[in-house]
A and B are shown apart, each in its own frame.
Chain A
Amino acid sequence: MSDASAIAPDEAVPASEPPSMHGSPLTESCGQTVLHPTREQYVGVVRALLDEGYEMCVDLTATDYLLMPERAMPEGVAGARFEIVVNLLSLSARQRIRLRVQVPADDASIDSLFDLHPGTEAMEREVFDMFGIAFTNHPDLTRILMPEDWEGYPLRKDYETGTIPVQFSTDFAART
């Protein structure tokens, strides 16, 4: 992503680097700042942001992009099936920042943020319950919303909604 600069065309201008923060590409989505760290960079970036003042982890969730493999990603970032989305908030600076980390389907695991933000305990359990993404170093990775012996991960795109056909119900399959 090179920005247009007002320099005379005969001057040699190096192509500007894509914006990044703490080593991860940075994009904007509807006016909101989004970082795209890799799985390896993930905890380091969150720790760096915590030091910078993003003290509260407001939300940690995931998305299953099984039906959207061709989505807009910044350059250098390859879209995987799962994406962990973390929203951080800095109370002092009154700013939010969002992280989107790609998690592949065949190795659906990522580090837990529990040691940095204890409030992610329940959120990570919910992601594990709904998507089957495992969090290493999580103190208690068990199902939280579904019964403990439930099989399957409900929010994955290959898990059916479980709609029982009734007369006059909408054909949801026709919508997607």
Chain B
Amino acid sequence: MSLIRNIQDDGLGGIQHNAITAKIEDLVKWSRSRSSWPASFGLACCAIEMMATGAAHYDLSRFGMEVFRASPRQADIMIVAGRVSQKMAPVLRQVYDQMMEPKWVISMGVCASTGGMFNNYAIVQGVDQVVPVDVYAPGCPPTPETLIHAIETLHQLIEDGHLMKRRAESGAGANVHVQEIAAGAESIPVLIGTR
């Protein structure tokens, strides 16, 4: 049936919209926003603040997010908390690719958003060069209130339906295409910073 085939391909965007399916859509979006589980990707100082946000005082559990899933397969949101170094960038991409659709990314802190105070050879200047980002949370580190605001913004965007399924052809929405290099092939020298 064409309804089912469209959903498989395009997610919610593929439903033939009518009065009945609109209610189902709303229900699906509401439930997604109310129980999105983060994948633990804490890297540096922002990870400490992220853990503080999950702890008793600021409590992410009231947003349904206290379970930080270790396995990316079971996670919905990836909160990139901390500075991403050149060595870590492929790992980041790999973990993002392992997450199942629908998935969202919050870039927490200035180092993840733009490279932060470390404008040098070692840090990727903005994690959106590697994965598509939905919400940026500024701060060094962002206080738990800022992170909660970012999470709530994301939840609102999910609930309003502004973030639909990303297509594989467009590089998961960011026009980022990652080329796998076969193991054992000639290593490609990295020349950033050399004269």
Contacts and interface: CB of A to CB of B under 8 A. Distances in A.
A139 interface: no
A166 B121 CA distance: 15
B119 A166 contact: yes
B86 A160 contact: no
Interface residues of A: mostly helix, strand, loop or mixed?
A: loop
A169 interface: yes
B86 A159 contact: no
Nearest to A172: B119
A154 B125 CA distance: 17
B62 interface: no
Interface residues of B, number: 17
Contacts of A158: 195
Contacts of B121: 154, 159-162
A150 B195 contact: no
A109 B58 CA distance: 53
A142 to B, nearest CB: 13
Contact of B86 (A147, A161, A164): A147
A146 B123 CA distance: 11
Contact of A163 (B87, B119, B191): B119
A151 to B, nearest CB: 5
A96 B87 CA distance: 36
A154 B191 contact: no
Contact of A152 (B87, B115, B188, B193): B193
A149 interface: yes
Interface of A: 146-147, 149-152, 154, 158-164, 166, 169
Interface of B: 86-87, 115, 119-122, 125, 187-195
23 contacts: A146-B87, A147-B86, A147-B190, A149-B188, A149-B189, A151-B191, A152-B194, A154-B121, A154-B193, A159-B121, A160-B193, A160-B195, A161-B119, A161-B121, A162-B120, A162-B122, A162-B193, A163-B120, A164-B115, A164-B119, A164-B125, A166-B119, A169-B119
